[in-house]
């Protein structure tokens, strides 16, 4: 495509005729396609979607002079294809890919993690032995094993699965309140 190409009234009229024989309908189609292109380019993270939509129209208008007679069907998909290509072209020029370092430093453990675990240990000891055992056993397994384990635990306790769920939830709430209190009282490291 020529870089010094400029839009002429004749080229624009031929382009509008290609969009729709009725000039008013062609204008509506133009606005509809432009809005759609701006949305697509915005969703792809384009910083200047309006400018790229306008450049898309310029490129399509240049080509429309040659293909208007032979093109069949709705022109909107052609606009989208040109906009996609233009977006990738623009992105490669504007933002070259930065290489990531091969060895990223390990993050330092947060000091609050130790406090969280210390408070959890203290609060677990404050629970009644039956509730402590319930919490430890209730949250033991994963996936299907968790479901089977909870059914077995409910049978051992002589209660239904829903009653077990409620009991575990209440115990966990008590434990969470204790941990929150402990964290507010414990000095920050």
Give domain status of residue 106, yes or no: no
Q: Mark whether 15 and 40 lie in a shared domain.
A: yes
The residue range of the domain holding 35 is 9-94
pLDDT at position 31 over 50: yes
- Token digits of residue 97: 């890919």
Give domain status of residue 57, yes or no: yes
Q: Mark whether 75 and 135 lie in a shared domain.
A: no
Please indicate whether residue 123 or residue 96 has the higher confidence score (pLDDT). Answer: 123
What whole-number distance in Å separates Cα of residue 189 and Cα of residue 110? 10
Domains in the chain, number? 2
Q: Mark whether 88 and 129 lie in a shared domain.
A: no
Please indicate whether residue 65 or residue 123 has the higher confidence score (pLDDT). Answer: 123
Q: Mark whether 83 and 13 lie in a shared domain.
A: yes
The mean per-residue pLDDT over the stretch 152-161 comes to 94
Q: Mark whether 39 and 86 lie in a shared domain.
A: yes
The mean per-residue pLDDT over the stretch 41-69 comes to 87
Q: Mark whether 30 and 89 lie in a shared domain.
A: yes
Question: Which residue spans within 50-154 are E strands per DSSP?
Answer: none
Q: Mark whether 77 and 32 lie in a shared domain.
A: yes
What whole-number distance in Å separates Cα of residue 51 and Cα of residue 12? 18
- Token digits of residue 102: 């091969």
Last residue of a domain, one of 32, 61, 94: 94
One-letter-per-residue 3-state SS of 16-72:
HHHHCCCHHHHHHHHHHHHHHHHHHHHHCCCCCHHHHHHHHHHHHHHHHHHHCCCCC
Please indicate whether residue 82 or residue 4 has the higher confidence score (pLDDT). Answer: 82
Q: What secondary structure does DSSP assign to 89-109, as a single string?
A: HHHHHHSPPPPPPSSPPPPPP
- Please report which confidence band the pLDDT of residue 1 belongs to, taking 50, 70 and 90 as the band edges: very low
Please indicate whether residue 103 or residue 85 has the higher confidence score (pLDDT). Answer: 85
> What is the pTM (predicted TM-score) of this model?
0.48
Give domain status of residue 56, yes or no: yes
Last residue of a domain, one of 94, 129, 162: 94
What distances in angstroms separate CA 81 from CA 41, 57, 122, one per listed residue? 12, 12, 62
Closest CA to 80 of 104, 108, 52: 52
Q: Mark whether 86 and 124 lie in a shared domain.
A: no
pLDDT at position 23 over 60: yes
- Token digits of residue 44: 């792809």
What CATH number did the domain enclosing 135 receive? 1.10.10
Q: Are 32 and 79 in contact (CB under 8 A)?
A: no
Closest CA to 78 of 14, 18, 2: 18
The answer for 45, left when phi > 0, alpha when psi is -120 to 50, beta otherwise, is left
Closest CA to 4 of 79, 58, 48: 58
For all residues of the chain together, what is the average pLDDT?
86
Q: Mark whether 116 and 90 lie in a shared domain.
A: no
Give domain status of residue 160, yes or no: yes
Give domain status of residue 81, yes or no: yes
């Amino acid at each position: 495509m020529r870089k010094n190409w400029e839009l002429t009234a004749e080229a624009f009229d031929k382009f509008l005729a290609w969009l729709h024989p009725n000039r008013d309908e062609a204008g509506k189609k133009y606005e509809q396609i432009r809005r759609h292109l701006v949305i697509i380019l915005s969703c792809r993270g384009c910083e200047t979607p309006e400018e790229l939509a306008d450049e898309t129209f310029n490129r399509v208008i240049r080509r429309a002079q040659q293909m208007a007679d032979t093109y069949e069907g709705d022109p909107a998909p052609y606009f989208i294809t040109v906009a996609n290509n233009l977006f990738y072209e623009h992105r490669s020029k504007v933002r070259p890919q930065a290489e990531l370092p091969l060895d990223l430093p390990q993050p330092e453990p947060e000091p609050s993690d130790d406090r969280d675990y210390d408070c959890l240990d203290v609060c677990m000891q404050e629970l009644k032995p039956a509730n402590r055992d319930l919490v430890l056993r209730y949250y033991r397994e994963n996936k299907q094993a968790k479901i089977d384990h909870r059914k077995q635990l409910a049978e051992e306790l002589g209660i239904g699965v829903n009653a077990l769920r409620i009991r575990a939830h209440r115990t966990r709430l008590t434990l969470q309140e204790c941990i929150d209190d402990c964290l507010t009282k414990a000095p920050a490291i």
